[in-house]
Structure 1
Amino acid sequence: MIDMRPYRTLGGGHHGWLKSRHHFSFADYEEAERDCWGALRAWNDNEIAPGSGFPAHPHANVDIITYVRQGAIIHDDNLGNRVRMEAGSVQVLSAGSGIRHSEYNAEGVPAHLFQIWIKPEQSGGRPEWTGLRFPNIDRAGQFVVFASGCQQDRDAAPLRSGARVLGVTLSAGQSVEYRPDPNRHLYLVPASGSVLINGVHADARDGIAVSDEDSLILTALEDCDIVMVDAP
């Protein structure tokens, strides 16, 4: 099953300093049919204006994966981490028993990012933050695992569930195959470009929910950058 969720149909709004679209129910946006997808609880498409950002606020019992698509943000948390995350960077905030953090755009251009929330298998635990950079050349034509709770993905940022967050860049006309467990929940979003997924057309920032598929064939219609969650 492949369920298209075009960008134009997503909830969200314009808050002055923040433009946000929600692939799943989030904040004031509620839609029963888009409440979650397995352990995937949220996928927010955010644009943060220059000189602004999210002030310090708390989280608990969630893994938050941030993929910076364009621009840069400064992450600051009460664990002592203060890091500038550029485009192509991925950070994982495992909130555990509780953490406070802020995200600020100190650049002169907007910051564009995906924020993905995944439910951990257990509540509590020590909060942690991990940041990694994944250059496009490393994931050209092949999936690279950004974050994972699976033992085989030792070079990825750690998650507290059996979920995986992956990325791939494709040149126009290039294809790649991904063979998932049919019992898992896949969700893909092209950060840029357009792509065919088992023949279904998706443009930049569209969402594609996938289940009960033995194989996915992704064929780029133009140069594209794709992020995917493979969740229990």
Structure 2
Amino acid sequence: MIKLINASERHEARVGDWLQSAYLFSFADYYDPSNVQFGPLRVFNDDIVSSHSGFPLHPHADMEIVTILLDGEMTHKDSLGNESRLAAGEVQRITAGTGVTHSITNESDKEAHLLQLWFLPNKRGLAPSYEQMKVDFPDTKNKLVPLVTGQKVLEDVLFMNSNSTVYHATLGQGENIDFRTFKIRRSLIYVLDGSLVINSIEADRHDQIRLDDQEVVSIHATSAASLILVDVPALEVNY
């Protein structure tokens, strides 16, 4: 099965004058029982955070939280004692586990653009932990580059406690990528920019393609494009 979800179908939300979000799944005041999660992928938010604002200190538990900073910069602080700055092209993973509190704020003079993805962990009660990694997005041209994975440990890839992988890619016009998968897995592609044809389905900026029961996901760029691909198990036991 292949399902196209147009950009206009995302749930748009504003929080005060500091946050503009698009929710791909049920989140906060948006609830659709038919759109709660995709395998263990529970949250996928596309956020614009105004300058000198952000998410104040708040708690999480039993969740794998991935943040991909596309533009601007954010400052992270948590109850584990971590304090760091995320710049554009950096990726962060938090294992909330038994419980962690953190804040992520934009202390700069320009707005920041980030993606937040939350995964249900494959084991509960884990020790909280934190990782951060720099990714040179321009170097990902015409290939899928894993950013965070729980399928196997690779160099220069953040680890998460979910049998899932998040990839980033940029493609030049006319370029192609084939992602080989299995019918027991599912794929979600979110178009960040440009236009793609994915297994014969056309998708434009901020569209989603959700794919089930596929062995190959064929991606063709009809214009210069960038994307996030999330590969998840069709079923994953969450203890």
Name the TM-score class by shorter chain.
over 0.9
> Deviation digits for residues 168-226 of structure 1, max 9, x if unmatched?
11111111110111111211112222211112111222222111111111111222221
**1:154 Cα deviation from its structure 2 partner:** 4.4
Q: Identity across aligned pairs (percent)?
A: 32
Bigger shift: 134-143 or 158-167? 134-143
Structural mapping, 1:33-112, within 5 Å: 33-112=34-113
Q: Are 1:10 and 2:7 an aligned pair?
A: no
**Alpha-carbon contact 1:12-1:29 (below 8 Å) kept:** no
**Alpha-carbon contact 2:133-2:156 (below 8 Å) kept:** no
> Deviation digits for residues 136-194 of structure 1, max 9, x if unmatched?
24311111110011225343101101111111111111111101111112111122222
The amino acid across from 2:221 in the alignment is: A
Residue of structure 1 equivalent to 2:127: 126
Residue of structure 1 equivalent to 2:156: 155
Residue of structure 2 equivalent to 1:26: 27
Question: Aligned partners of 2:59 and 2:152: how far apart in 1?
Answer: 29
**1:22 Cα deviation from its structure 2 partner:** 0.6
> Deviation digits for residues 37-70 of structure 1, max 9, x if unmatched?
1111110111101110000000000001111111
Q: TM-score, normalised by structure 1?
A: 0.96
* Secondary structure of the corresponding residue to residue 141 of structure 1: coil
Question: Aligned partners of 1:187 and 1:153: how far apart in 2?
Answer: 22
Q: Are 1:204 and 2:208 an aligned pair?
A: no
**1:12 Cα deviation from its structure 2 partner:** 3.3
* Secondary structure of the corresponding residue to residue 27 of structure 1: coil
**Alpha-carbon contact 2:179-2:217 (below 8 Å) kept:** yes
Q: Are 1:116 and 2:117 an aligned pair?
A: yes
* Secondary structure of the corresponding residue to residue 34 of structure 2: helix
* Secondary structure of the corresponding residue to residue 74 of structure 2: strand
* Secondary structure of the corresponding residue to residue 69 of structure 1: strand
Residue of structure 1 equivalent to 2:237: none
* Secondary structure of the corresponding residue to residue 115 of structure 1: strand
**Alpha-carbon contact 1:69-1:191 (below 8 Å) kept:** no
Bigger shift: 76-85 or 56-65? 76-85
Q: TM-score, normalised by structure 2?
A: 0.93
Question: Aligned partners of 2:119 and 2:88: how far apart in 1?
Answer: 22
* Secondary structure of the corresponding residue to residue 8 of structure 2: helix
> Could you list the runs of 5+ residues in structure 1 that have no partner in the other structure?
none
**Alpha-carbon contact 1:45-1:114 (below 8 Å) kept:** yes
